[in-house]
């Protein structure tokens, strides 16, 4: 599994370099389109599955995104990346991954995914034999015995879902859930 992450990271390292070499003769809008077409899909692809990668790989991927932000804004390497993210209206990768995970949990609980994804989650009230306060809309979190389970979608998705406010959990449409969740995650991190 580690080999896959390493290969993935090595492929992504080349893409910001392409942007850097072309930024002197390409307009900003074209660079932004190139980033969205060539780099961002690598961060998004299967992020629900690999999103709980170990800390060192997560830091490497964030550095890669920070490097791309510096290139796109033609900023010096020592410029504060957080300010550049605000300037571009972007979110860091960990927030993007949390939004993707929360969206996938919402889809699975509302019948928008195959049954095997929905079967990963169990309503907390279904396994409890007595009434527990504040269990409405909460998912049962599997008891992890290893870090492997803690990094799984079934565990991290349930923990994230339980941290969301009830009004988001009960959103009627996927679009309203995404917009509310984006605001909630962005303002609480």
pLDDT above 90: residue 176: yes
Q: How many residues does the chain have?
A: 189
Per-residue pLDDT at 170: 92
Nearest to 90 by CA among 44, 137, 30, 23: 44
Per-residue pLDDT at 3: 47
pTM for the structure as a whole: 0.82
Per-residue pLDDT at 48: 82
Higher pLDDT, residue 95 or 134: 95
* Residue 123, phi then psi, degrees to nearest 5: -65, 135
**pLDDT tens-digit profile of 110-144?**
999 999 888 899 888 777 656 566 667 789 888 88
Residue partners of 61: CB distance under 8 A and separation at least 6: 9, 12, 43, 53, 93
Q: Count CB neighbours of 122 within 10 A.
A: 14
Quick one: what percent of the chain has pLDDT higher than 70? 87
What's the whole-number mean pLDDT along residues 9-34?
A: 76
Q: Are 77 and 70 within 8 A, CB to CB?
A: yes
Supply the mean pLDDT for the chain. 84
């Amino acid at each position: 599994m580690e080999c896959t992450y390493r290969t993935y990271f090595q492929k992504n390292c080349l893409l910001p370099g392409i942007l850097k070499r072309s930024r002197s003769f390409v307009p900003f809008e074209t660079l932004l389109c190139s980033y969205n077409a060539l780099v961002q899909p690598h961060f998004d692809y299967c992020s629900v599955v690999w999103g709980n990668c170990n800390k060192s790989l997560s830091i490497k991927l964030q550095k890669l995104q920070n490097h791309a932000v510096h290139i796109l804004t033609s900023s010096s390497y020592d410029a504060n990346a957080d300010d550049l993210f605000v300037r571009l209206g972007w979110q860091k990768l960990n927030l993007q991954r949390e939004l993707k995970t929360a969206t996938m949990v919402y889809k699975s609980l509302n019948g928008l995914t195959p049954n095997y994804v929905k079967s990963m989650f169990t309503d907390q009230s279904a396994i409890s034999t007595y009434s527990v306060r504040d269990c409405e809309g909460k998912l049962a979190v599997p008891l992890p015995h290893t870090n492997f389970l803690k990094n799984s979608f079934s565990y991290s998705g349930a923990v994230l879902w339980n941290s969301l406010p009830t009004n988001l959990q009960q959103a009627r449409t996927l679009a309203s859930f995404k917009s509310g969740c984006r605001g909630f995650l962005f303002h609480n991190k």
